[in-house]
Chain A
């Protein structure tokens, strides 16, 4: 059973370009979470999705960031018009259950975004 997969592992974008980060959850997991780890800071929750639904996006910046988890295919975190401050490691996690289940979240290896 493959773990959570993220691609690309490293992404370099120039200021103003778009970044698309992909996450394939573990088989059988229908809950996906995105986190961001800024340099010298802890992981911060961004958004929680189930298939075709955004459940909680309270951690997402109000502008330029969006996430989706379509019926088919991976979850996508999209950052439009990237700025240098977006440079970070973006981690995706998945779990079989959702709120209140206490299921552990399994993390992917992350995508390291560098904005030049």
Chain B
């Protein structure tokens, strides 16, 4: 089974609506990274969370880390067409040598004007 599950797999929202993307790990997290990928392009770093309960915001995007549940959520407020893309969460697992990122399969977000 997948170590890192993202949900939903895809999401279509009307411009101006709020939305949430979830990322759940089956193993203990050392750090959780959120990236955005536009189709056919590279990854853009959004945020990194390390401590349980940590919450970070950048413009209209907020990410939280629930350490007990080994889960992170990415929330977008008042979505815009520019938010469209594929959102990836990447996990850094604790333990010796477990520094390489393990990624979820991504959530494809479409925003309808």
A residues at B contact (CB < 8 Å): 4, 33, 35, 41-45, 48, 56, 58-59, 91, 93, 98-100, 102, 104-110, 112
A110 and B101 contact, Cβ closer than 8 Å, known pairs A42-B106, A104-B33, A105-B33: no
A105 and B101 contact, Cβ closer than 8 Å, known pairs A42-B106, A43-B88, A91-B42: yes
Residues of B in contact, count (CB < 8 Å):
25
In B31-69, the 8 Å CB interface with A consists of 31, 33, 35, 40-45, 48, 50
Chain B 55-93 per-residue mask, 1 if CB under 8 angstroms from chain A, else 0 = 000000000000000000000000000000000101010
Contact of A102 with B92 in the complex, beta carbons under 8 Å: yes
Docked CA distance A26–B101 (Å): 18
> When A and B form their complex, what is the total count of cross-chain residue pairs whose Cβ atoms lie within 8 Å?
58
Docked CA distance A48–B97 (Å): 11
B residues at A contact (CB < 8 Å): 4, 30-31, 33, 35, 40-45, 48, 50, 88, 90, 92, 97, 99-106
